[in-house]
Amino acid sequence: MLRKEVIIENELGLHARPAAKLAETAKRYRARIYLKKGSRKAEAHSILDVLALACTKGSVVEVIAEGEEAEKALSEIVALLSSRGA
């Protein structure tokens, strides 16, 4: 299991469009990918789960990946969440 903390950089936080992009990206990998904010955990492939975390700009989120393509998935998801445009 791989883990990495990331700070949400998007001015609007993790709203509908970036949540959809995140879910689409997560579905491409043979890995289980989760986001954790505080005590709440969401499956990255579920837009609704991601939106329920209510991540605003500056939120610290832990990305957790496990499975066959965990390393690649973790890298791409972290990059996506760290960018200002996502």
Residues with catalytic roles: 15
Q: CA 33 to CA 2: how far, in whole Å?
A: 10
SS (H, E, C) 46-85: CHHHHHHCCCCCCCEEEEEEECCCHHHHHHHHHHHHHCCC
